[in-house]
Chains A and B, each alone.
Chain A
């Protein structure tokens, strides 16, 4: 079965510092990987995705993610964190096989706290 894991429940970073939110995946075949952000009392918003091509994917709000096949990771990064980046971040993988074709599996979420 396809799955993603987010090993950190919470990440704390000071404003202006780089941030990394970790995600590892377990899939058979080529992975379709996604990052989403959820602000309090809101729905999930799409940030970026990796389908194929360059391992470094750029997305919304200055975020990027690096696909690493050997380490089966898809970590979310930003060079300089903003207080407004504080939110809950979800990594997801889309199942491409047979009857599960439309399933998106989400990680458990990582709460990012950016302190002024």
Chain B
């Protein structure tokens, strides 16, 4: 069973389109995240939700809108896609307590053409 699953794995789309990436975790964790990995493999946090509440919102264009319908799901919607949005987007989850680990999904490879 996949602990953190995200779909689609690969997405190629044109500039200006709107697209969504879905994420689900079956680990019972309270906290979920979206990270962006750029072409240099640098990982940057975008958003974090705890029990459906937004707790971290980094400096991300407002074209990116997360949505958490319940604590097991965190989706990412991107409006008006730009070339610079091309990256790998990772969903992740973790228990709330401090010593615990963050678990990642397999990533969604977004290419904007």
- Which has the most chain A C-beta neighbours within 10 Å: B33, B40, B102, B105? B102
A43 touches B98 (CB 8 A): no
**B94 in complex: contacting residue of A41, A88, A102, CB < 8 Å:** A102
Q: Is the CB of A49 within 8 A of B104?
A: no
**Contact pick for B102, options A41, A101, A104, A109, CB 8 Å:** A104
A43 touches B50 (CB 8 A): no
Residues from chain A with Cβ under 8 Å of B42 in the complex: 106, 108-109
| B64 located at the interface, meaning its Cβ lies under 8 Å from any Cβ of chain A in the complex | no
Residue of B nearest to A46 (CB): B101
Interface contact A101-B41, CB-CB below 8 Å: no
Task: Establish whether residues B99 and A51, one from each chain, have CB atoms under 8 Å apart when the complex forms.
Answer: yes
Decide if B104 touches A43 in the complex (CB within 8 Å): yes
Query: Given the complex of chains A and B, what is the CA–CA distance between A104 and B50 in angstroms?
Result: 14
Residue numbers in A under 8 Å from B94 (CB-CB):
102, 104
On whether the beta carbons of A102 and B50 are closer than 8 Å, the reply is yes
A116 at the interface (CB under 8 A from B): no
Contacts of A90 in B (CB 8 A): 43
Residue of A nearest to B30 (CB): A102
Contacting B at CB under 8 A, from A37-69, are: 38, 41-46, 49, 51
Contact status A99-B55, CB under 8 Å: yes
Give Cα A51 to B90, complex, Å. 24
A94 touches B107 (CB 8 A): no
The 0/1 profile, CB within 8 Å of B marked 1, for residues 73-106 of chain A is: 0000000000000001010101010011111101
Q: Given the complex of chains A and B, what is the CA–CA distance between A92 and B35 in angstroms?
A: 13
Q: How far is the CA of A4 from the CA of B50 in the complex (A)?
A: 24
Determine whether the beta carbon of A32 is less than 8 Å from that of B99: yes
Listed from nearest, the 8 A-B pairs whose CB atoms lie closest are A43-B104, A51-B99, A106-B43, A44-B104, A43-B106, A109-B41, A102-B48, A46-B101
Sample of 18 further A-B pairs with CB below 8 A, known A49-B101, A109-B41, A109-B43: A34-B101, A34-B102, A42-B107, A43-B4, A43-B106, A43-B107, A44-B43, A45-B104, A49-B99, A51-B99, A100-B56, A102-B31, A102-B94, A102-B96, A104-B33, A104-B102, A108-B41, A108-B42
